[in-house]
Amino acid sequence: MTPGPVSIDPRVSQAMSNRILGQFDSDFLTIMDDTMELTRQAFETKNKWAFAVDGSGRAGLEVLMSNIISKGDKVLVPVLGRFGNLGIELAQRAGGEVITM
């Protein structure tokens, strides 16, 4: 999904023409296990469920906030435009008590 025309490496074309693996395909599970192991190494954690999230910055922010905020936690959110408003929404959804500035 790049502006074209763009020359791409033939390996990329080949990879894009491969069949799609389903989430329960044994090859997919092997790739996911390998990715999780590399993620644990990169972040120096022993957390068995460390994995990469494929998504936008918003997806990353949502994962972060839903994992670190518990019901009743006080969360200070600086409101500096739409991302501040998103922070409020995500913190509230995670059960946080939002304080804005």
Question: Confidence band (pLDDT; 50, 70, 90) for 2?
Answer: low
CA dihedral 63, 69, 74, 76 (to 10 degrees): -20
Q: What is the pLDDT averaged over residues 67-89?
A: 94
Least confident segment among 3-12, 28-37, 59-68, 76-85: 3-12
Which pLDDT band, with edges at 50, 70 and 90, does 85 fall under? very high
- pTM of whole model > 0.85? no
What ranges do the domains of the chain cover? 10-52, 55-101
Handedness of CA 27, 28, 32, 35 (dihedral sign): positive
Yes or no: say if 74 and 97 are a contact pair by the CB < 8 Å rule: yes
pLDDT in tens, 18-29: 888 898 999 999
pLDDT given for residue 82 in this prediction: 87
* CA atoms within 13 A of residue 41's CA, in its CB half-sphere: 6
Would you say the C-alpha torsion 53, 54, 56, 57 has a positive or negative sign? positive
